[in-house]
Amino acid sequence: MNSYLEIIVQDISKAYSPGITAAEILKDVSPASRPEILAAELNGKQIDLSAPITEPGKLDFISVNTPKGLEILRHSTAHIMAQAVKELFPEVKVAIGPAIADGFYYDFDSPRPFTPEDLEKIELRMKEIVKSKLPFRKVVLPRGEAIQFFKELGENYKIELIEAIDADEVNLYSQGNFTDLCRGPHIPVSSAVKAFKLTKVAGAYWRGDERNRMLQRIYGTAFPSKDELKRYLELLEEAKRRDHRKLGKELDLFSISEEAGPGMVIWHPKGAMLRYLIEEFERKEHLRRGYQMVVGPQILKRELWEKSGHFDNYRENMYFTTVDEIDYGIKPMNCLSHMIIYKSRIRSYRDLPIRYFELGTVHRHEKSGVLHGLLRVRQFTQDDAHILCTPDQLNDEILGIINFVKDVMGIFGFDYTMELSTRPEKSIGSDEDWDRATTALEKALQALDLPYEINEGDGAFYGPKIDIKLTDALSRSWQCATIQCDFTLPERFGLTYVDADGTRKRPVMIHRVVLGAIERFLGVLIEHYAGAFPLWLAPVQAMILTITDRTDSYAAEIAETLRSHDIRVDLDLRNEKIGFKIREARNQKIPYMVILGDKELETQSIAVRKRGQDSTVTVDLAQFINALNQEISMRSF
């Protein structure tokens, strides 16, 4: 029997004694990179650097400069924050503290809300803990002992978490006098944290359930270096300036009123115009690509939702009502009506593909704690389409959708990434159908030579999907477009077509959106452009400003002429100084100001100032209209 382990590190196999740690191997193979390494992976499983190695295999080191390393750094910083909170506020109970996309958070049950002054104290104490070079130590305890340990500490949230774990043993991590339930891994020592910042406090229900106690959630972030943290905090400040809720109020686009109900958007005239422009753009782009417009009802009988699988797999997100003692579901999706249209008559293979498009308003039961401006609402409109095609046409249709999305993202100036999401645990349909659908999506991505990541288990309950995530001006990622391949619902609803040989065959259905929820897309768009929309999208394209009331009639004539050329125009005829009017138009981010005084009246000209410029140019009206129409037609951003 061998008394050593074969460990492969950096493609080199070497024998080590059982019980050696990853940290000791790191000293042997790469001492120069030690400060950057936070943890390791043995045979694909993450481990602490201090963990004894008892099995042979491949060992990879995890650097702080990788996504995995950054996640470990942030998770460990969350533990340091929890330690600081417990030392400063011993009466507080700790809940959970994960790493998230931009940092980390930790939930606390506190007798009172945390204040900005509290955050300063917590941050100061965290810096002291970091300087103390406290090692992170892992202990594995039997489940019962761990429960008893946290009972003695009075940490009821940890007890509840352990009781939900289906395992005989659980992992605990300690640094200094603080111990937390965690599967790890963690940084080796607290001084590995080089740059962090606590950013805000918010309320959060325990386990995300509004029936549970409201906890205090402290958010923070951590980076490998102070320069990276500085850049992130600058982006954070810019994000605050671009916040669509703030700009929505300042630009008078929309409001969300508690009187009307949370998650329900009320569109003001300018916002409604912006929405109309996006929807008209969508209609024209779909008609160009051979889509047919359809409209379905807002409620459908419960039996249909049961047949589709939504009732069993999605009903917690749905609203229901009863009419004449018949149960109805308020639609969260548009696909059922589209299948009913398809079934309304016999279809031939010559009819396919059929592409149904609907700007369909849907309702979903979102918890109040996750509602967020336009980005998470309860009523929204999707640019929803369902394509029914033969299996032979499937690849071309998926390619067509991806190219459609690429064209649209280019118009708005968005970069994007691709994700292929596979079968979730809660799903319907056969393994064979899921494999066929997943293969079809993957082949399309490969045919276009597009890079993509696999998102295991995040498909829709009826089929896998391609998620297209756009990247905005601040390099943030947003989920908008999605393409779902579905063999299952056509089977459940008995959809068929008559093939060339006269037999009935089953079509494939593609569910897809390009922009996704119009509300969400507009929220992203407002922040992407910082409210300064390109001319073709601006709710008001030109604002006419008068210097004296002697030009009011001339201003009205100019406005009428511009409107007759489909230019969206507004007038400011108030008895205010022109400097004040210009500042207000600038704050409203109007693309063009038309300034009229006695000189312009006399020469029958106009003085034009473009957004972002301080000088005016005198032109004739026809020249101005021609320039605007040219810019609008280019759809430049």
Q: Give me the pLDDT at residue 1, please.
A: 45
Q: Residue 466 is encoded by which pair of tokens?
A: 């391609």
- By the 8 A CB rule, do 406 and 449 touch? no
Query: In this structure, are 476 and 520 located in the same domain?
Result: yes
Query: In this structure, are 55 and 176 located in the same domain?
Result: no
Q: Is 382 in the active site? A: yes
Instruction: Answer with the one of 467, 497, 528 that is the final residue of a domain.
Output: 528
Distance from C-alpha of 242 to C-alpha of 399, rounded to nearest angstrom: 34
Which of the residues 79, 378, 465, 520 is marked catalytic? 465
User: Is 444 a member of any domain?
Assistant: yes
User: Is 401 a member of any domain?
Assistant: yes
Q: Give me the pLDDT at residue 389, please.
A: 96
Q: Give me the pLDDT at residue 196, please.
A: 97
Q: Is 372 in the active site? A: no
Query: In this structure, are 352 and 401 located in the same domain?
Result: yes
Query: In this structure, are 623 and 511 located in the same domain?
Result: no
Query: In this structure, are 455 and 588 located in the same domain?
Result: no
Which of the residues 74, 386, 423, 609 is marked catalytic? 386
Q: Give me the pLDDT at residue 352, please.
A: 97
pTM score of the predicted model: 0.84
Q: Is 175 in the active site? A: no
Q: Exposure string (b/e) for 3-30, b if CB count within 10 Å is 16 or more?
A: eebebebeeeeeebeeebbbbebbeeee
Quote the number of domains for the chain: 4
Distance from C-alpha of 51 to C-alpha of 38, rounded to nearest angstrom: 12
Domain at 375, CATH number: 3.30.930.10
Q: Give me the pLDDT at residue 177, please.
A: 94
Q: Give me the pLDDT at residue 636, please.
A: 72
- Helix, strand, coil percentages (3-state) for the chain, rounded to 5, are 40, 30, 30
Domain at 153, CATH number: 3.30.980.10
Phi first, then psi, for residue 353 (nearest 5°) are -80, 150
Q: Is 465 in the active site? A: yes
Listed residue (593, 545, 595) closest to 573, CA to CA: 545
User: Is 259 a member of any domain?
Assistant: no
Which of the residues 75, 364, 528, 589 is marked catalytic? 364
Strands 354-363 and 319-323: unpaired
Query: In this structure, are 429 and 558 located in the same domain?
Result: no
- By the 8 A CB rule, do 67 and 100 touch? no
Q: Give me the pLDDT at residue 633, please.
A: 92
User: Is 562 a member of any domain?
Assistant: yes
Distance from C-alpha of 200 to C-alpha of 216, rounded to nearest angstrom: 10
Query: In this structure, are 279 and 422 located in the same domain?
Result: yes
User: Is 491 a member of any domain?
Assistant: yes
User: Is 306 a member of any domain?
Assistant: no
Query: In this structure, are 401 and 498 located in the same domain?
Result: yes
Burial class (CB in 10 A: 0-12, 13-18, 19+), 124: exposed
Q: Which domain holds residue 204?
A: 68-233
Instruction: Answer with the one of 502, 528, 554 that is the final residue of a domain.
Output: 528
Q: How far apart are the first and last CA of the chain?
A: 70
Query: In this structure, are 480 and 594 located in the same domain?
Result: no
Query: In this structure, are 156 and 18 located in the same domain?
Result: no
Please give the radius of gyration of the chain, using alpha carbons only, rounded to the nearest integer. 30
- By the 8 A CB rule, do 254 and 266 touch? yes
Amino acid identity for residue 135 in this structure: P
Using CA atoms of 419, 420, 426, 427 in order, give the dihedral in degrees to the nearest 10.
Answer: 140
Q: Is 480 in the active site? A: no
Quick one: how far is CA 564 from the chain centroid? 40
In sequence order, which ranges of 154-301 are alpha helices (DSSP H)? 156-163, 226-242, 244-250, 269-288
Q: Residue 55 is encoded by which pair of tokens?
A: 């099995």
User: Is 91 a member of any domain?
Assistant: yes
Which of the residues 182, 335, 389, 480 is marked catalytic? 335
Quick one: how far is CA 162 from the chain centroid? 31
Low-confidence ranges of the chain (pLDDT < 50): 1
- By the 8 A CB rule, do 347 and 354 touch? yes
Strands 415-421 and 319-323: unpaired
Which of the residues 107, 384, 433, 486 is marked catalytic? 384
DSSP 20: -
DSSP 577: -
In sequence order, which ranges of 355-419 are alpha helices (DSSP H)? 394-412
Query: In this structure, are 402 and 516 located in the same domain?
Result: yes
Sheet of strand 477-486: strand arrangement:
292-293, 354-363, 379-389, 508-517, 477-486, 465-471, 415-421, 452-455
Phi first, then psi, for residue 78 (nearest 5°) are -60, -40
Q: Give me the pLDDT at residue 32, please.
A: 61
Instruction: Answer with the one of 18, 48, 63 that is the final residue of a domain.
Output: 63
User: Is 105 a member of any domain?
Assistant: yes
Which of the residues 83, 175, 216, 382 is marked catalytic? 382
Q: Give me the pLDDT at residue 31, please.
A: 64
Listed residue (533, 401, 403, 409) closest to 470, CA to CA: 409
Query: In this structure, are 563 and 475 located in the same domain?
Result: no
- To which residue do tokens 């969206």 refer? 568
Q: Residue 439 is encoded by which pair of tokens?
A: 């293969």
3-state secondary structure of 286: helix
